[in-house]
Structure 1
Amino acid sequence: MKFSRILVGVDDSDDALLAFKYAIDRAKTDRAELIIVSILENEEMNVYEALSKDYVHGQRADLEKHILDYQRQARTAGVEIVRTIVSEGEPGEVIVKDIIPHVKPDLLVIGSESKKGLAQHFGSQAAYMAKYAPISVLVIR
């Protein structure tokens, strides 16, 4: 099966980095567009940080700058069309309910465990996406 648009979730965890490398290779092989997504998880903030718009916007700005490093890596590796998306909320839900319907990818590539939040202990984000995504999902360990 050949894919034309691949969505990959990144969060700097080891599994996500492996997923990113796989997504690059697959995008090059299939000559597919690569969309890199990272989600700012609100649950990681304490109540004072969550109430401070400056803090939230600062965190988001940092994440938006950081995701551009992923974009550069993909382009350097030879992927011709690379886009990035940064959003906020619960990663699994945001990706399944908002990002996938918006960008219409053929494949979602994700790591099995995330670096942050409860998902690191239970793998709940990957399990949620694998169960509810309306497209093929590849979970990398």
Structure 2
Amino acid sequence: MSQKYERIMVAIDGSYESELAFEKGVNVALRNDAELLLTHVIDTRALQSVATFDTYIYEKLEKEAKDVLTDYENQARKQGLEKVRQIIEFGNPKSLLARDIPDKEEVDLIMVGATGLNTFERLLIGSSSEYIMRHAKVDLLVVRDKSKTL
């Protein structure tokens, strides 16, 4: 039995690992004639103590995210992908990427880069990809290696 994906969400956080997830996401979307959702979540939990009422910081982060996602969108379109959308949200990345955005957007595959955290760091702050794996209702692909293609 073959699974055909229709709406693929790639979590983009600016890391090398999320770039790998993007590259594989484009390939999977092309093969499935699927829509690719380039998704970035601005973590407001980290900002609350620094900039409670400073909207400039939020606007600056949103513009930087938009610029990065626009670059990825242009790359995807150059590779022949027609259905590409950007999603930028504010809040808790773990819950937004695991449940809220996939539910709202009817995502059927989530793609994330593997974390660069070591065991101790995961104990202290947790891994987003690990959280998503435990809470997502749809298929999840954790991208670890550039050399392997899908």
If the length of structure 2 is used for normalisation, what is the TM-score? 0.83
Contact kept? 1:33, 1:81, Cα under 8 Å:
yes
**1:10 corresponding residue in structure 2:** 12
1:114 deviates by 6.4
Contact 1:49/1:55 (8 A) holds in 2: yes
Aligned residue in 2 for 1:85: 87
Structure 2 unaligned spans of 5+: 145-150
Q: Over the residues paired in the alignment, what is the CA RMSD in angstroms?
A: 1.8
Residues 105/58 of structure 1: CA separation in 2 closer, same or farther (3 Å cut): same
Please report the TM-score for the alignment, with normalisation by the length of structure 1: 0.87
Structure 2 counterpart of 1:81, which letter? K
Q: Secondary structure at the match of 1:87?
A: strand
Q: 2:129 aligns with which of 119, 126, 130?
A: 126
Percent identity, please. Answer: 27
Unaligned runs of 5+ in 1: 116-120
The equivalent residue for 1:61 is 63
**1:46, distance to aligned residue in structure 2 (A):** 6.8
User: 4+ runs of 1 displaced by more than 3 Å?
Assistant: 43-46
What's 1:30 paired with? 32
